Amino acid sequence: MSLVDRLKKAIGLSPFHDPLVADLQKALSPDRVLEDYEERLLHSKDESVFEGGLAGPVCFPLTTEEVQSIMKIAQRHDRDVIPRGAGSGLAGGAIPLGAPVVVALTKMNNIIEVDIENRIAWVEPGVINLELSDHLRPMGFHYAPDPSSQQICTIGGNVANNSGGPHCLADGVTDTHVLAIEVVLPDGEVTQFGGLDPEPDGLDLRGAFIGSEGTLGIATKIAVRLTANPEAVKTILISFPTMRAAAETVSAVIAGGIVPAAMEAMDQRTIEVIENHVPAGYPKDAGAVLLVEVEGLPDGIEIDAERICEIAEKHQAEDIRIAQNSWQRDALWKGRKSAFGASTYISPNYYLHDTVVPRSALADVLDQVNAIASENDLTIMNVFHAGDGNLHPLLLFDAEEEGTLERVHAVGAEIVRISLEAGGVLSGEHGIGIEKQQFMNDLFSDEDLNHQNRLRFAFDPLCRINPGKVLPQGHSCADIQTLQKPPEGVWV
Protein backbone atom coordinates (compact mmCIF):
# COMPACT_ATOMS: atom_id res chain seq x y z
CA MET A 1 0.00 0.00 0.00
CA SER A 2 1.37 3.41 -0.98
CA LEU A 3 2.00 6.15 1.54
CA VAL A 4 -0.92 8.15 0.12
CA ASP A 5 -3.24 5.18 0.45
CA ARG A 6 -2.05 4.52 4.01
CA LEU A 7 -2.71 8.16 4.91
CA LYS A 8 -6.15 8.03 3.32
CA LYS A 9 -6.92 4.89 5.24
CA ALA A 10 -5.73 6.50 8.45
CA ILE A 11 -8.11 9.45 8.03
CA GLY A 12 -10.97 7.30 6.85
CA LEU A 13 -10.91 8.15 3.13
CA SER A 14 -10.05 4.68 1.98
CA PRO A 15 -11.86 1.44 2.65
CA PHE A 16 -10.84 -1.12 5.12
CA HIS A 17 -10.62 -4.55 3.64
CA ASP A 18 -13.83 -5.28 1.80
CA PRO A 19 -14.07 -8.79 0.36
CA LEU A 20 -16.50 -7.45 -2.25
CA VAL A 21 -13.74 -5.41 -3.88
CA ALA A 22 -11.39 -8.35 -4.09
CA ASP A 23 -14.06 -10.42 -5.81
CA LEU A 24 -14.89 -7.61 -8.24
CA GLN A 25 -11.24 -7.04 -9.07
CA LYS A 26 -10.79 -10.74 -9.66
CA ALA A 27 -13.78 -10.81 -12.03
CA LEU A 28 -12.78 -7.63 -13.94
CA SER A 29 -9.26 -6.41 -13.29
CA PRO A 30 -7.80 -4.29 -10.47
CA ASP A 31 -7.51 -1.21 -12.68
CA ARG A 32 -11.21 -1.36 -13.56
CA VAL A 33 -12.54 -1.59 -10.02
CA LEU A 34 -11.74 1.69 -8.33
CA GLU A 35 -12.07 2.25 -4.61
CA ASP A 36 -10.35 5.63 -4.13
CA TYR A 37 -12.35 8.18 -2.22
CA GLU A 38 -11.99 10.65 -5.11
CA GLU A 39 -13.40 8.19 -7.66
CA ARG A 40 -16.26 7.27 -5.37
CA LEU A 41 -17.01 10.94 -4.79
CA LEU A 42 -16.86 11.68 -8.51
CA HIS A 43 -19.35 8.89 -9.16
CA SER A 44 -21.66 10.12 -6.42
CA LYS A 45 -22.74 13.18 -8.42
CA ASP A 46 -24.63 13.91 -11.58
CA GLU A 47 -25.46 17.22 -13.24
CA SER A 48 -28.25 17.95 -10.75
CA VAL A 49 -28.10 19.95 -7.53
CA PHE A 50 -28.99 16.91 -5.43
CA GLU A 51 -26.88 15.08 -2.89
CA GLY A 52 -27.05 11.36 -2.15
CA GLY A 53 -24.74 8.90 -0.50
CA LEU A 54 -21.13 8.05 -1.22
CA ALA A 55 -20.70 5.51 -3.99
CA GLY A 56 -19.25 2.10 -3.23
CA PRO A 57 -16.60 0.61 -5.50
CA VAL A 58 -16.73 1.89 -9.06
CA CYS A 59 -16.57 -0.81 -11.75
CA PHE A 60 -15.83 -0.28 -15.44
CA PRO A 61 -16.96 -3.46 -17.22
CA LEU A 62 -16.04 -4.09 -20.84
CA THR A 63 -18.43 -6.93 -21.64
CA THR A 64 -21.88 -8.29 -20.87
CA GLU A 65 -20.19 -11.16 -19.03
CA GLU A 66 -18.41 -8.71 -16.74
CA VAL A 67 -21.69 -6.94 -15.96
CA GLN A 68 -23.14 -10.36 -15.16
CA SER A 69 -20.25 -11.06 -12.81
CA ILE A 70 -20.73 -7.74 -11.02
CA MET A 71 -24.43 -8.48 -10.51
CA LYS A 72 -23.75 -11.93 -9.15
CA ILE A 73 -20.94 -10.77 -6.87
CA ALA A 74 -23.03 -7.88 -5.54
CA GLN A 75 -25.88 -10.27 -4.86
CA ARG A 76 -23.56 -12.69 -3.08
CA HIS A 77 -22.30 -9.86 -0.88
CA ASP A 78 -25.81 -8.53 -0.26
CA ARG A 79 -25.03 -5.16 -1.87
CA ASP A 80 -26.96 -2.82 -4.14
CA VAL A 81 -25.92 -1.86 -7.68
CA ILE A 82 -26.37 1.38 -9.59
CA PRO A 83 -25.78 1.65 -13.35
CA ARG A 84 -24.32 4.86 -14.71
CA GLY A 85 -23.66 6.44 -18.09
CA ALA A 86 -22.14 9.89 -18.51
CA GLY A 87 -23.75 11.21 -15.33
CA SER A 88 -25.41 14.02 -17.29
CA GLY A 89 -28.85 13.43 -15.73
CA LEU A 90 -30.64 16.30 -14.05
CA ALA A 91 -33.00 14.49 -11.68
CA GLY A 92 -30.53 12.63 -9.49
CA GLY A 93 -31.28 9.26 -11.09
CA ALA A 94 -27.59 8.28 -11.13
CA ILE A 95 -26.84 9.52 -7.61
CA PRO A 96 -26.16 6.56 -5.32
CA LEU A 97 -28.26 6.16 -2.19
CA GLY A 98 -26.60 4.01 0.44
CA ALA A 99 -23.26 2.80 -0.90
CA PRO A 100 -24.07 0.72 -3.99
CA VAL A 101 -21.58 -0.81 -6.38
CA VAL A 102 -21.38 1.62 -9.31
CA VAL A 103 -21.47 0.03 -12.75
CA ALA A 104 -19.99 2.73 -14.98
CA LEU A 105 -20.75 1.73 -18.56
CA THR A 106 -18.65 4.38 -20.27
CA LYS A 107 -16.01 1.89 -21.42
CA MET A 108 -18.65 -0.24 -23.15
CA ASN A 109 -18.73 2.28 -25.98
CA ASN A 110 -18.53 0.30 -29.21
CA ILE A 111 -20.86 0.61 -32.15
CA ILE A 112 -21.07 -3.13 -32.62
CA GLU A 113 -22.80 -3.36 -35.96
CA VAL A 114 -24.64 -1.15 -38.44
CA ASP A 115 -27.19 -3.40 -40.12
CA ILE A 116 -28.52 -1.44 -43.09
CA GLU A 117 -30.77 -4.28 -44.28
CA ASN A 118 -32.65 -4.25 -40.97
CA ARG A 119 -32.24 -0.47 -40.63
CA ILE A 120 -30.77 -0.83 -37.15
CA ALA A 121 -27.47 -0.49 -35.32
CA TRP A 122 -26.42 -2.57 -32.32
CA VAL A 123 -24.51 -0.40 -29.89
CA GLU A 124 -23.08 -0.72 -26.41
CA PRO A 125 -24.64 1.47 -23.71
CA GLY A 126 -21.65 3.79 -23.34
CA VAL A 127 -21.78 5.06 -26.93
CA ILE A 128 -22.18 8.85 -26.97
CA ASN A 129 -25.44 9.94 -28.61
CA LEU A 130 -23.88 12.44 -31.03
CA GLU A 131 -21.04 10.09 -31.97
CA LEU A 132 -23.62 7.53 -33.07
CA SER A 133 -25.35 10.01 -35.38
CA ASP A 134 -21.99 11.26 -36.70
CA HIS A 135 -21.07 7.65 -37.47
CA LEU A 136 -24.35 6.97 -39.28
CA ARG A 137 -24.75 10.20 -41.23
CA PRO A 138 -22.34 9.39 -44.10
CA MET A 139 -24.32 6.16 -44.61
CA GLY A 140 -27.49 8.21 -45.14
CA PHE A 141 -28.94 7.74 -41.65
CA HIS A 142 -28.94 9.22 -38.16
CA TYR A 143 -30.23 8.41 -34.68
CA ALA A 144 -33.26 10.67 -34.20
CA PRO A 145 -33.39 11.50 -30.44
CA ASP A 146 -31.03 14.42 -29.86
CA PRO A 147 -31.06 15.56 -26.22
CA SER A 148 -29.37 18.91 -25.57
CA SER A 149 -26.63 16.96 -23.79
CA GLN A 150 -26.04 14.79 -26.86
CA GLN A 151 -22.34 15.64 -27.01
CA ILE A 152 -21.77 13.82 -23.71
CA CYS A 153 -24.81 11.68 -22.87
CA THR A 154 -24.82 7.96 -23.63
CA ILE A 155 -27.34 5.77 -25.42
CA GLY A 156 -27.63 3.66 -22.25
CA GLY A 157 -28.52 6.78 -20.28
CA ASN A 158 -30.99 7.75 -23.00
CA VAL A 159 -32.68 4.36 -22.64
CA ALA A 160 -32.86 4.77 -18.86
CA ASN A 161 -34.52 8.17 -19.18
CA ASN A 162 -36.46 7.68 -22.41
CA SER A 163 -34.68 10.82 -23.56
CA GLY A 164 -36.11 13.26 -26.06
CA GLY A 165 -34.61 16.29 -27.72
CA PRO A 166 -35.63 19.04 -30.13
CA HIS A 167 -36.05 16.69 -33.09
CA CYS A 168 -38.37 14.25 -31.30
CA LEU A 169 -41.50 16.25 -32.11
CA ALA A 170 -42.26 14.46 -35.36
CA ASP A 171 -40.17 11.32 -34.95
CA GLY A 172 -40.81 10.40 -31.29
CA VAL A 173 -38.53 9.93 -28.28
CA THR A 174 -36.13 7.09 -27.40
CA ASP A 175 -38.89 4.51 -26.94
CA THR A 176 -39.82 4.84 -30.63
CA HIS A 177 -36.22 4.34 -31.74
CA VAL A 178 -35.04 1.45 -29.57
CA LEU A 179 -36.16 -1.91 -30.89
CA ALA A 180 -34.30 -4.40 -28.72
CA ILE A 181 -32.19 -4.37 -25.57
CA GLU A 182 -29.89 -7.00 -24.13
CA VAL A 183 -30.35 -6.73 -20.39
CA VAL A 184 -28.50 -8.18 -17.42
CA LEU A 185 -31.14 -8.79 -14.78
CA PRO A 186 -30.51 -8.24 -11.07
CA ASP A 187 -29.73 -11.93 -10.52
CA GLY A 188 -27.15 -11.91 -13.33
CA GLU A 189 -29.36 -13.61 -15.93
CA VAL A 190 -28.96 -12.19 -19.46
CA THR A 191 -32.01 -11.77 -21.63
CA GLN A 192 -33.28 -9.74 -24.56
CA PHE A 193 -36.29 -7.45 -24.48
CA GLY A 194 -37.93 -6.58 -27.80
CA GLY A 195 -36.58 -7.71 -31.13
CA LEU A 196 -35.77 -6.64 -34.65
CA ASP A 197 -39.10 -7.98 -35.87
CA PRO A 198 -42.06 -5.57 -35.73
CA GLU A 199 -44.19 -7.43 -33.20
CA PRO A 200 -42.02 -9.56 -30.94
CA ASP A 201 -43.82 -12.22 -28.93
CA GLY A 202 -44.80 -11.77 -25.33
CA LEU A 203 -45.15 -8.69 -23.21
CA ASP A 204 -43.42 -5.48 -24.28
CA LEU A 205 -40.75 -5.65 -21.57
CA ARG A 206 -38.65 -3.37 -23.78
CA GLY A 207 -41.31 -0.66 -23.42
CA ALA A 208 -41.42 -1.14 -19.65
CA PHE A 209 -37.61 -1.05 -19.38
CA ILE A 210 -37.13 2.17 -21.38
CA GLY A 211 -37.55 5.12 -19.04
CA SER A 212 -37.29 2.99 -15.89
CA GLU A 213 -34.29 5.06 -14.75
CA GLY A 214 -31.92 2.14 -14.26
CA THR A 215 -34.12 0.35 -11.74
CA LEU A 216 -35.00 -2.84 -13.65
CA GLY A 217 -31.62 -4.14 -14.83
CA ILE A 218 -28.61 -3.04 -16.84
CA ALA A 219 -28.70 -2.62 -20.63
CA THR A 220 -25.57 -4.05 -22.23
CA LYS A 221 -26.48 -3.95 -25.94
CA ILE A 222 -29.08 -1.78 -27.62
CA ALA A 223 -30.57 -2.05 -31.11
CA VAL A 224 -31.49 1.43 -32.32
CA ARG A 225 -33.54 2.24 -35.37
CA LEU A 226 -31.78 4.08 -38.20
CA THR A 227 -33.69 7.13 -39.42
CA ALA A 228 -33.11 8.15 -43.03
CA ASN A 229 -31.54 11.58 -43.44
CA PRO A 230 -34.14 13.92 -44.92
CA GLU A 231 -33.76 14.95 -48.56
CA ALA A 232 -34.43 18.55 -47.62
CA VAL A 233 -34.50 20.67 -44.46
CA LYS A 234 -35.80 24.16 -43.83
CA THR A 235 -34.91 26.01 -40.65
CA ILE A 236 -36.94 29.07 -39.76
CA LEU A 237 -36.36 31.62 -37.01
CA ILE A 238 -39.48 33.63 -36.18
CA SER A 239 -39.41 36.53 -33.74
CA PHE A 240 -42.40 37.75 -31.75
CA PRO A 241 -43.09 40.72 -29.47
CA THR A 242 -44.13 38.41 -26.62
CA MET A 243 -43.78 34.79 -25.54
CA ARG A 244 -47.59 34.59 -25.50
CA ALA A 245 -47.67 35.31 -29.24
CA ALA A 246 -45.00 32.65 -29.83
CA ALA A 247 -46.84 30.09 -27.69
CA GLU A 248 -50.13 30.77 -29.46
CA THR A 249 -48.38 30.25 -32.78
CA VAL A 250 -47.22 26.83 -31.58
CA SER A 251 -50.80 25.82 -30.76
CA ALA A 252 -52.05 27.18 -34.07
CA VAL A 253 -49.43 25.27 -36.08
CA ILE A 254 -50.38 21.98 -34.39
CA ALA A 255 -54.09 22.77 -34.75
CA GLY A 256 -53.38 23.38 -38.44
CA GLY A 257 -52.33 19.75 -38.81
CA ILE A 258 -48.61 20.45 -39.21
CA VAL A 259 -46.10 18.51 -37.16
CA PRO A 260 -42.70 20.11 -37.78
CA ALA A 261 -39.50 18.16 -37.11
CA ALA A 262 -38.72 20.62 -34.31
CA MET A 263 -40.35 23.69 -32.77
CA GLU A 264 -38.27 25.32 -30.04
CA ALA A 265 -39.02 28.51 -28.10
CA MET A 266 -36.71 30.98 -26.37
CA ASP A 267 -37.69 33.98 -24.31
CA GLN A 268 -36.26 37.49 -24.33
CA ARG A 269 -33.68 36.90 -21.61
CA THR A 270 -32.44 33.74 -23.32
CA ILE A 271 -32.03 35.59 -26.61
CA GLU A 272 -30.10 38.33 -24.86
CA VAL A 273 -27.78 35.88 -23.08
CA ILE A 274 -27.14 33.92 -26.28
CA GLU A 275 -26.43 37.02 -28.34
CA ASN A 276 -24.16 38.54 -25.71
CA HIS A 277 -22.06 35.44 -25.22
CA VAL A 278 -22.49 32.93 -28.07
CA PRO A 279 -23.93 35.03 -30.93
CA ALA A 280 -26.23 33.09 -33.23
CA GLY A 281 -27.88 35.93 -35.14
CA TYR A 282 -31.07 36.08 -33.08
CA PRO A 283 -32.87 39.47 -33.06
CA LYS A 284 -31.92 41.01 -29.72
CA ASP A 285 -35.02 43.17 -29.51
CA ALA A 286 -37.46 40.25 -29.85
CA GLY A 287 -39.70 39.30 -26.94
CA ALA A 288 -39.42 35.64 -27.96
CA VAL A 289 -38.32 33.52 -30.89
CA LEU A 290 -39.43 30.21 -32.32
CA LEU A 291 -36.90 28.00 -34.04
CA VAL A 292 -38.90 25.78 -36.38
CA GLU A 293 -37.56 23.06 -38.62
CA VAL A 294 -39.40 21.13 -41.29
CA GLU A 295 -37.84 18.25 -43.13
CA GLY A 296 -38.76 15.73 -45.79
CA LEU A 297 -39.06 16.03 -49.55
CA PRO A 298 -38.31 19.44 -51.08
CA ASP A 299 -41.80 20.36 -52.34
CA GLY A 300 -43.61 19.26 -49.20
CA ILE A 301 -41.41 21.20 -46.82
CA GLU A 302 -41.95 24.34 -48.93
CA ILE A 303 -45.70 23.92 -48.39
CA ASP A 304 -45.29 23.35 -44.64
CA ALA A 305 -42.85 26.25 -44.25
CA GLU A 306 -45.15 28.61 -46.09
CA ARG A 307 -48.13 27.63 -43.93
CA ILE A 308 -46.13 27.99 -40.73
CA CYS A 309 -45.01 31.48 -41.76
CA GLU A 310 -48.61 32.44 -42.59
CA ILE A 311 -49.78 31.23 -39.17
CA ALA A 312 -46.94 33.08 -37.44
CA GLU A 313 -47.79 36.32 -39.28
CA LYS A 314 -51.36 36.02 -38.03
CA HIS A 315 -49.91 35.82 -34.50
CA GLN A 316 -47.86 39.00 -34.58
CA ALA A 317 -44.63 37.58 -36.01
CA GLU A 318 -42.22 40.49 -36.45
CA ASP A 319 -39.40 38.94 -38.36
CA ILE A 320 -39.01 35.63 -40.21
CA ARG A 321 -35.58 34.39 -41.23
CA ILE A 322 -35.04 31.22 -43.20
CA ALA A 323 -31.60 29.64 -43.17
CA GLN A 324 -30.26 29.72 -46.72
CA ASN A 325 -27.53 27.15 -46.24
CA SER A 326 -26.23 24.60 -43.78
CA TRP A 327 -23.88 27.15 -42.23
CA GLN A 328 -26.79 29.44 -41.36
CA ARG A 329 -28.81 26.49 -40.12
CA ASP A 330 -25.98 25.36 -37.86
CA ALA A 331 -25.64 28.90 -36.48
CA LEU A 332 -29.35 29.06 -35.59
CA TRP A 333 -29.14 25.69 -33.82
CA LYS A 334 -25.88 26.60 -32.12
CA GLY A 335 -27.71 29.37 -30.29
CA ARG A 336 -30.43 27.02 -29.08
CA LYS A 337 -28.04 24.30 -28.02
CA SER A 338 -25.72 26.77 -26.25
CA ALA A 339 -28.46 28.44 -24.23
CA PHE A 340 -28.01 26.50 -20.99
CA GLY A 341 -24.25 26.81 -21.06
CA ALA A 342 -24.48 30.53 -21.88
CA SER A 343 -26.49 31.11 -18.71
CA THR A 344 -23.31 30.54 -16.70
CA TYR A 345 -22.01 33.86 -18.06
CA ILE A 346 -24.62 35.70 -16.01
CA SER A 347 -25.07 33.36 -13.06
CA PRO A 348 -22.82 30.89 -11.28
CA ASN A 349 -25.54 28.26 -10.84
CA TYR A 350 -28.67 27.16 -12.60
CA TYR A 351 -31.46 24.72 -11.92
CA LEU A 352 -33.11 23.39 -15.03
CA HIS A 353 -36.71 22.29 -14.58
CA ASP A 354 -38.65 19.97 -16.81
CA THR A 355 -42.42 19.61 -16.95
CA VAL A 356 -44.93 19.06 -19.74
CA VAL A 357 -48.23 20.86 -20.24
CA PRO A 358 -50.86 20.66 -22.97
CA ARG A 359 -49.63 22.76 -25.87
CA SER A 360 -52.69 24.98 -25.72
CA ALA A 361 -51.84 25.86 -22.09
CA LEU A 362 -48.27 26.99 -22.83
CA ALA A 363 -48.91 30.74 -22.83
CA ASP A 364 -50.86 30.80 -19.56
CA VAL A 365 -48.48 28.44 -17.77
CA LEU A 366 -45.44 30.48 -18.82
CA ASP A 367 -47.07 33.66 -17.48
CA GLN A 368 -47.62 31.96 -14.15
CA VAL A 369 -44.12 30.47 -14.03
CA ASN A 370 -42.53 33.86 -14.72
CA ALA A 371 -44.72 35.52 -12.07
CA ILE A 372 -43.70 32.96 -9.44
CA ALA A 373 -40.01 33.43 -10.23
CA SER A 374 -40.39 37.20 -10.07
CA GLU A 375 -42.24 37.06 -6.73
CA ASN A 376 -39.37 35.03 -5.34
CA ASP A 377 -36.73 37.35 -6.74
CA LEU A 378 -35.22 34.73 -9.03
CA THR A 379 -33.99 35.27 -12.57
CA ILE A 380 -35.52 32.87 -15.06
CA MET A 381 -34.75 31.86 -18.64
CA ASN A 382 -37.24 29.90 -20.71
CA VAL A 383 -35.85 27.79 -23.52
CA PHE A 384 -37.92 24.75 -24.32
CA HIS A 385 -39.44 22.21 -26.68
CA ALA A 386 -42.59 24.19 -27.40
CA GLY A 387 -43.91 21.80 -30.02
CA ASP A 388 -44.62 19.09 -27.48
CA GLY A 389 -45.40 21.35 -24.54
CA ASN A 390 -42.17 20.44 -22.75
CA LEU A 391 -41.19 23.38 -20.52
CA HIS A 392 -37.63 23.94 -19.34
CA PRO A 393 -37.64 26.92 -16.96
CA LEU A 394 -34.03 27.67 -16.06
CA LEU A 395 -33.73 29.25 -12.62
CA LEU A 396 -30.50 31.23 -12.19
CA PHE A 397 -28.97 31.68 -8.76
CA ASP A 398 -25.84 31.94 -6.70
CA ALA A 399 -25.55 28.96 -4.38
CA GLU A 400 -23.22 30.95 -2.15
CA GLU A 401 -26.06 33.29 -1.18
CA GLU A 402 -27.66 31.96 1.95
CA GLY A 403 -31.21 30.69 1.53
CA THR A 404 -31.20 30.94 -2.25
CA LEU A 405 -31.28 27.21 -2.93
CA GLU A 406 -34.33 26.88 -0.67
CA ARG A 407 -36.09 29.56 -2.72
CA VAL A 408 -35.10 27.77 -5.92
CA HIS A 409 -36.63 24.52 -4.64
CA ALA A 410 -39.78 26.37 -3.51
CA VAL A 411 -40.21 27.92 -6.95
CA GLY A 412 -39.54 24.51 -8.52
CA ALA A 413 -42.35 23.00 -6.47
CA GLU A 414 -44.65 25.79 -7.63
CA ILE A 415 -43.71 25.17 -11.27
CA VAL A 416 -44.65 21.51 -10.80
CA ARG A 417 -47.96 22.49 -9.16
CA ILE A 418 -48.83 24.94 -11.96
CA SER A 419 -47.98 22.35 -14.62
CA LEU A 420 -50.10 19.64 -12.99
CA GLU A 421 -53.02 22.02 -12.56
CA ALA A 422 -52.86 22.75 -16.29
CA GLY A 423 -53.22 19.02 -17.01
CA GLY A 424 -49.52 18.36 -17.42
CA VAL A 425 -47.00 15.92 -15.96
CA LEU A 426 -43.92 15.97 -13.76
CA SER A 427 -41.30 15.36 -16.41
CA GLY A 428 -40.98 15.14 -20.17
CA GLU A 429 -37.32 14.19 -20.43
CA HIS A 430 -35.33 14.27 -17.20
CA GLY A 431 -37.26 11.63 -15.29
CA ILE A 432 -38.24 11.46 -11.64
CA GLY A 433 -34.99 10.27 -10.02
CA ILE A 434 -34.92 11.70 -6.53
CA GLU A 435 -35.92 15.16 -7.72
CA LYS A 436 -39.63 14.61 -8.11
CA GLN A 437 -40.45 11.56 -6.03
CA GLN A 438 -42.37 13.69 -3.55
CA PHE A 439 -44.68 14.89 -6.34
CA MET A 440 -45.61 11.44 -7.63
CA ASN A 441 -48.57 11.33 -5.24
CA ASP A 442 -49.90 14.48 -6.91
CA LEU A 443 -49.99 12.81 -10.31
CA PHE A 444 -50.96 9.26 -9.37
CA SER A 445 -53.31 7.63 -6.90
CA ASP A 446 -52.05 5.23 -4.23
CA GLU A 447 -53.38 2.33 -6.30
CA ASP A 448 -51.58 3.57 -9.44
CA LEU A 449 -48.30 3.78 -7.53
CA ASN A 450 -48.88 0.38 -6.01
CA HIS A 451 -49.14 -1.07 -9.52
CA GLN A 452 -45.98 0.74 -10.62
CA ASN A 453 -44.18 -0.85 -7.68
CA ARG A 454 -45.50 -4.26 -8.71
CA LEU A 455 -43.86 -3.76 -12.09
CA ARG A 456 -40.58 -2.80 -10.40
CA PHE A 457 -40.86 -5.80 -8.10
CA ALA A 458 -41.37 -8.27 -10.97
CA PHE A 459 -38.02 -7.29 -12.48
CA ASP A 460 -36.08 -6.83 -9.27
CA PRO A 461 -37.72 -8.69 -6.37
CA LEU A 462 -34.89 -7.88 -3.96
CA CYS A 463 -34.81 -4.19 -4.97
CA ARG A 464 -31.09 -4.28 -5.62
CA ILE A 465 -30.84 -2.04 -8.70
CA ASN A 466 -30.78 1.70 -8.14
CA PRO A 467 -32.99 1.47 -5.04
CA GLY A 468 -34.82 4.43 -3.59
CA LYS A 469 -35.56 6.13 -6.93
CA VAL A 470 -38.71 7.13 -8.86
CA LEU A 471 -41.43 5.90 -6.50
CA PRO A 472 -42.19 7.99 -3.43
CA GLN A 473 -41.93 6.86 0.15
CA GLY A 474 -44.75 4.53 1.01
CA HIS A 475 -44.66 2.91 -2.43
CA SER A 476 -41.08 2.05 -3.17
CA CYS A 477 -38.89 -0.94 -2.63
CA ALA A 478 -37.06 1.19 -0.11
CA ASP A 479 -40.01 0.76 2.19
CA ILE A 480 -40.04 -2.97 1.80
CA GLN A 481 -36.44 -3.27 2.86
CA THR A 482 -34.18 -0.48 4.01
CA LEU A 483 -31.52 0.62 1.57
CA GLN A 484 -28.60 -1.74 1.66
CA LYS A 485 -26.03 -0.37 4.06
CA PRO A 486 -22.37 -1.24 3.62
CA PRO A 487 -20.90 -3.64 6.13
CA GLU A 488 -19.74 -2.06 9.35
CA GLY A 489 -16.34 -0.38 9.06
CA VAL A 490 -16.35 -0.38 5.27
CA TRP A 491 -16.63 2.66 3.01
CA VAL A 492 -16.89 5.01 5.96
Partner 1 sequence: MASVIDHALEEFAAEVGPVGPIAIQGGKTRWDANGVPIPEARLLSAPTGIVTYKPEEMIVTARAGTTVEDLHTHLKEHGQRTGLPDRGGTIGGAIAVGENDLNVLGKGRVRDAVLQIRYISADGEIISSGAPVVKNVSGFNLHKLLVGSFGTLGLIAEVTLRTNPVPAETMWLTAAITDPIKIFDSLYKPAAILWDGRTIWVQLEGHKPDVEKQQETLSQIGNFEQVERGPELPQHRWSLPPADLYTISNYKTGRFVASIGVGTVWAEHPQPLRTPDRGKQIIEERLKQQFDPTNRLNPGRKIGNWN
Least Cα distance to 259 among 268, 250, 267 occurs for: 250
Q: How far is CA 56 from CA 39, 95, 484, 485, in A?
A: 10, 11, 11, 10
CB of 473 to partner 1, least distance (A): 15
Which one, 18 or 182, has the nearer CB to partner 1? 182
Which one, 402 or 447, has the nearer CB to partner 1? 447
Which one, 356 or 396, has the nearer CB to partner 1? 356
375, amino acid identity: E
CB of 29 to partner 1, least distance (A): 27
321, amino acid identity: R
CB of 311 to partner 1, least distance (A): 12
161, amino acid identity: N
Which one, 184 or 396, has the nearer CB to partner 1? 184
Phi, psi angle pair for 354, to nearest 5°: -155, 100
What's the rounded Cα separation, in Å, for the pair 416 and 366?
Answer: 12
Query: What's the start-to-end Cα distance of the chain, in Å?
Result: 19
Which one, 20 or 426, has the nearer CB to partner 1? 426
H-helix or E-strand spanning residue 416: helix 404-421
CB of 362 to partner 1, least distance (A): 11
What's the rounded Cα separation, in Å, for the pair 25 and 368?
Answer: 54
The C-alpha angle 43, 48, 54, rounded to 5 degrees, equals 30
CB of 207 to partner 1, least distance (A): 3
CB of 21 to partner 1, least distance (A): 28
CB of 275 to partner 1, least distance (A): 29
Which one, 162 or 343, has the nearer CB to partner 1? 162
CB of 458 to partner 1, least distance (A): 4
Which one, 188 or 341, has the nearer CB to partner 1? 188
Bridge-based pairing state of the strands 232-240 and 288-296: antiparallel
Which one, 19 or 256, has the nearer CB to partner 1? 256
Q: Residue 340 contacts by C-beta under 8 Å, 6 or more apart in sequence?
A: 148, 350, 352, 383, 394
* Contact present, 59 and 28 (Cβ < 8 Å): yes
Which one, 57 or 424, has the nearer CB to partner 1? 424
H-helix or E-strand spanning residue 176: helix 174-177
Residue 481: how many other CB atoms lie within 10 Å: 11
Bridge-based pairing state of the strands 393-397 and 232-240: unpaired
Which one, 99 or 160, has the nearer CB to partner 1? 160
H-helix or E-strand spanning residue 319: strand 319-322
CB of 462 to partner 1, least distance (A): 12
Point out which residues pair with 55 in neighbouring strands: none
What's the rounded Cα separation, in Å, for the pair 353 and 371?
Answer: 16
Cα atoms in the Cβ-side hemisphere of radius 13 Å centred on 102: 34
Which one, 5 or 189, has the nearer CB to partner 1? 189
- DSSP character at residue 385: B
CB of 107 to partner 1, least distance (A): 24
Residue 297: how many other CB atoms lie within 10 Å: 10
Least Cα distance to 385 among 351, 356, 344 occurs for: 356
* Contact present, 292 and 262 (Cβ < 8 Å): yes
CB of 424 to partner 1, least distance (A): 6
Which one, 109 or 161, has the nearer CB to partner 1? 161
CB of 304 to partner 1, least distance (A): 8
Give one DSSP letter per residue of 124-185, joined into a string: -TT-BHHHHHHHHGGGTEE-----TTTTT-BHHHHHHHT---TTHHHH--HHHHEEEEEEE-
The length of the chain, given as a count of residues = 492
